Amino acid sequence: QGDASTQDDGSAVLPEVIVTARRRAENAQSVPGSLSVVGGDLLDQSYTVNTQGLTTLIPSLNYSSANPRNTAFTIRGLGSSVVAVSQSNDGLEPGVGFYVDQVYHARPATAAFDFADIEQVEELRGPQGTLFGKNTTAGAINITSRAPTFAQEGFAELSYGQNNFVQAKGWSSGPLSDTVAYRISGVSTRRDGVLENVRTGRDANTLGTQAVRGQLLFKPDDRLSVRLIADFTNFQAYCCTQVFLRVGQSQRAASRQFGGPAGLAAQFGYAPPSTNPYDRRIDIDGPLDVDTNEGGVNAISDLDLGFATLTSVTAWRFWNWDAENDRDYTGIPIQLSQHIPSRQDQYSQELRLASNGDHPLTYVVGLYGFRQRITGRPISIYGPAGARYLIGTVTGTTAVPSNLLDGYGQDGRTDYRVASYAGFGEVNYRILPRLTLTGGLRYTWEDKNGYYSTTVSGGPAIAGTAAQITALTNARLGVLRPQTYSASDDDGSLSGRGNVGWQVTD
């Protein structure tokens, strides 16, 4: 971003905002597309420390996150919901692409961490497949971190706030030689819980994040630059649960409602600690922990060929997730534990050629390869109140023992793999000084394979007549049953876009 200037007639001129939306540095005003740009200085001044805070600076961006795993973006209401891209649905990909330093992050959960040393954030609205390696249908969030400098500089900041919120962040950059520069940056955030658990006396929804990024820039001459980046982020917290808003009503019989004089809560002699969310009181009786980390390395190489710049982006990233939740969100021992330890690894390679200069004809062409594997282990265990809450007192004509699900649970395995390859390109032709014609094409081929298997065990022995045993066994299997299935698909598709752009003013 540049500073505002003044014309000879005394009128103010808007500062120039440089973006890379079309994979080359250019003035945002000359890009024939819908985008928003937030510079690093504004991020710092507005104390925007994470992706959630971006929504106050970019109105068309929506960010939802029940916890770091269940995270999703939408742009102008388009994209994928939290349920669609999370909660074990690892095989589904987000509609909004998330890029950091030109690397696509396949899991939205990796966007839930604090920022560290950001140069600029671009929100690009609409499909971006003719410009970016991985196709995204609703838009893209393109984040660029500050690069190493050959002038020594540094920054440090310590903040303190409510609930013992403490955040320390800083960076240092400078030369190691005439051709090599470094940059290291980090942020550490902690905060006490903001919800009082009246059952355990422990405050829930704490924060605990540490992130570090190290960079090396090799610039032997004006034509070649190689930027190496390594980063690691860790999040550990007693998190994440929710407060009660009200007791709702479903279409079930009165005895199967949660509230009411004959409802399930009354049957257990239970009352929520409060239905006023501003009391911030909960009473969950199960475990509540989040332990997740992510990171990776990438190399960005740029070679100036004169007429164009050849760029290579090579990356490996990983994401580990483990959290244990009380999914009934109450003090009733319905579910004792639920967690889905997951591991994601992704590898990507992009080669891109982008024209240089401000000529009537500009272009970008590229090749992209991406491989990903996600493994998981879904685990659930029910408690002594599970049968009454989930099945009821009878199944058919057979009485259901109150402890039918006590200790009953599942232990599963998931394995999802994808290979994606694409060729893409876009051409812009300036017919008149203010009229530009744009056309782009993309071909994508993908191969996806998924496997799921789960076993069930635990719970008391079932006794009775053969008919009763069958009825109770089926009732228990109706809650959790052993399953195994696999699926695979591969396909290719051709897509494209075209537009005519008219620049109203200079």
- Describe the strand order of the beta sheet including 281-282 as a list of residue ranges: 203-204, 195-197, 281-282
Q: How confident is the model at residue 490 (pLDDT cuts 50, 70, 90)?
A: very high
Residue count of the chain, please give it.
Answer: 506
Is the Cα torsion angle 18, 21, 25, 28 positive or negative in sign? negative
Residue 100 and residue 132 in contact, taking contact as beta carbons nearer than 8 Å = no
Q: Where are the domains of the chain?
A: 15-243+280-502
Around Cβ 104, how many Cβ atoms within 10 Å?
Answer: 24
Instruction: State how far the Cα of 310 lies from the Cα of 355, in Å rounded to an integer.
Output: 9
Instruction: Give every CB contact of residue 249 below 8 A, 6+ residues apart in sequence.
Output: 257, 259, 260
- pLDDT mean over 276-295: 92
Full-model pTM: 0.89
Residue 356 and residue 321 in contact, taking contact as beta carbons nearer than 8 Å = no
pLDDT of 172 above 50: yes
Angle at 501 between CA 499 and CA 506, to 5 degrees: 165
Angle at 119 between CA 114 and CA 120, to 5 degrees: 85
pLDDT of 5 above 50: no
Instruction: State how far the Cα of 242 lies from the Cα of 272, in Å rounded to an integer.
Output: 12
The single-letter DSSP state of residue 461 is P
pLDDT value for 138: 86
Cis (ω within 30 of 0) for the bond into 240?
yes
pLDDT in tens, 175-220: 999 999 999 999 999 999 999 999 999 999 999 999 999 999 999 9
pLDDT in tens, 116-152: 789 999 988 888 888 888 878 888 899 999 999 999 9
pLDDT value for 92: 76
pLDDT value for 39: 87
Give the CATH superfamily of 15-243+280-502. TonB-dependent receptor, beta-barrel domain (2.40.170.20)
What is the DSSP annotation of 238-286? S------------SS-GGGSSSSTTSHHHHTT---S-S-GGG-EE---S
pLDDT in tens, 408-451: 999 999 999 999 999 999 999 999 988 999 999 999 999 999 99
pLDDT value for 129: 86
Q: How confident is the model at residue 3 (pLDDT cuts 50, 70, 90)?
A: very low
pLDDT in tens, 221-274: 999 999 999 999 999 999 889 999 888 888 888 888 999 899 999 999 999 999
Residue 291 and residue 208 in contact, taking contact as beta carbons nearer than 8 Å = no
pLDDT of 385 above 50: yes
For the chain, the average pLDDT equals 89
Around Cβ 264, how many Cβ atoms within 10 Å?
Answer: 22
pLDDT value for 240: 86
pLDDT value for 2: 46
pLDDT value for 506: 67
C-alpha closest to that of 97 among 64, 142, 159 = 142
Instruction: State how far the Cα of 67 lies from the Cα of 243, in Å rounded to an integer.
Output: 14
Q: What percent of the chain has pLDDT over 90?
A: 62
- pLDDT mean over 27-53: 80
Q: Are strands 18-19 and 26-27 parallel, antiparallel or unpaired?
A: antiparallel
The single-letter DSSP state of residue 193 is -
Integer Rg of the chain from CA: 27
What is the DSSP annotation of 407-442? T-EEEEEEEEEEEEEEEEEEEEEEEETTEEEEEEEE
